[in-house]
Amino acid sequence: MSKSLTCDVVVVGAGMTGAACALYAARAGLDVTVVDRGPVAGGTTGAGEGNLLASDKEPGPELRLALLSLRLWAELAHELGREVEYEAKGDSSSPGTPKRSPRWESSRTHSGRPE
């Protein structure tokens, strides 16, 4: 006999996106259930290289989200301690040619990096 499930939020997908949604929804006081057709992190998340990059983002909404994400990762790492493998290594990107691209100049200006 099936049992009825009662909660505020059902998150479908136990990858990085679903886990983050579930965590912050639960922290907001909601009763959250995560369901997945397979194992936790059994999708694309399990294949990720673990890089947290901001330098490859164009100035604008995506870069702002990336910077917010970096801050949240650092907070979580501090909070969870040894439970997560977090290492703030920094990152950089290059246009790959002697002549700098407009995108490179734009991102350099935005981040305030020196020449």
Ligand X SMILES: Cc1cc2nc3c(=O)[nH]c(=O)nc-3n(C[C@H](O)[C@H](O)[C@H](O)COP(=O)(O)OP(=O)(O)OC[C@H]3O[C@@H](n4cnc5c(N)ncnc54)[C@H](O)[C@@H]3O)c2cc1C
Closest to ligand X by CB, 48 vs 60, is 48
Regarding 56 and contact with ligand X (CB under 6 A), the answer is: no
Stretch that binds ligand X, among 23-31, 48-56, 75-83, 93-101 (CB under 6 A): 48-56
Alpha-carbon dihedral sign for residues 39, 6, 24, 18: positive
| Run of H or E including 76 | helix 61-80
- Touching ligand X, residues 3-22 (CB under 6 A): 12-18
Instruction: Out of 48, 64, 67, 78, point to the residue binding ligand X (CB under 6 A).
Output: 48
Phi, psi of 100 (to 5 degrees): -70, 140
What is the three-class DSSP state of 115? coil
- Residue 66 as a binder of ligand X (CB under 6 A): the answer is no
**CB-based contacts of 8: which residues, under 8 Å, 6+ apart?**
25, 30, 31, 32
Q: Does 43 bind ligand X (CB under 6 A)?
A: yes
Binding site for ligand X (CB under 6 A): 12-18, 35-38, 42-45, 47-51
